[in-house]
Amino acid sequence: MEKERITVEELLRRYAASERGFQNIILEYADLSGVELQNIDLTEAQFNYVNLSGLNLYRCELRGANFLNCNLREAKFFGCHLEYTRFFDCDFRGVNTSRCNLTCTHFIRVNFQGAKIGGFGEDPCRCWDITREDGVFIPGFTFNPFISSDNTDRGV
């Protein structure tokens, strides 16, 4: 399926008109900060340089989506499908991923300080050069950087 470039205004207009299928869209240099979206399908969507700070996503499909240089500070993902989603050079400070499927989600050069990364998945997340929620930088590759100092697994 071919990708469709879309503006924030068009996305929000179509969403307000009850459209929920936005698979394969490309959204670039946009501001969706503080927006709330429910039951929207963003499968394989591409977000480049998008401000998503304070975004609230409930029960959304994000399988295979790509986020490049996005600000996701204080965003909330609740019950979302994030399988095979990739986050490159993103600010995840204060993000909450409650009840999300994180199977094979990739985090490359992501800052998780203050984040609440929780959820489940059949296969672990894959992380490269990330800053953990407690501020510790983890260089290189790791499957599960979200292990507290007492070595108890957080389940991600």
Please report the domains of the chain, with CATH numbers, ordered by start residue: 22-142 (2.160.20.80)
Mean pLDDT of 29-38: 97
Query: Looking at residue 152, what is its pLDDT?
Result: 37
CB atoms < 10 A from the CB of 40, how many? 20
Q: Which of 12-16, 79-83, 120-124, 139-143 has the lowest mean pLDDT?
A: 120-124
DSSP the chain: ---EE--HHHHHHHHHTT--B-TTEEEES-B-TT-EEES-B-TT-EEES-B-TT-EEES-B-TT-EEES-B-TT-EEES-B-TT-EEES-B-TT-B-TTEE-TT-EEES-B-TT-B--EE-SS--EEEEEE-TTS-EEEEEES---B-TT--B---
Q: What is the pTM of this model?
A: 0.90
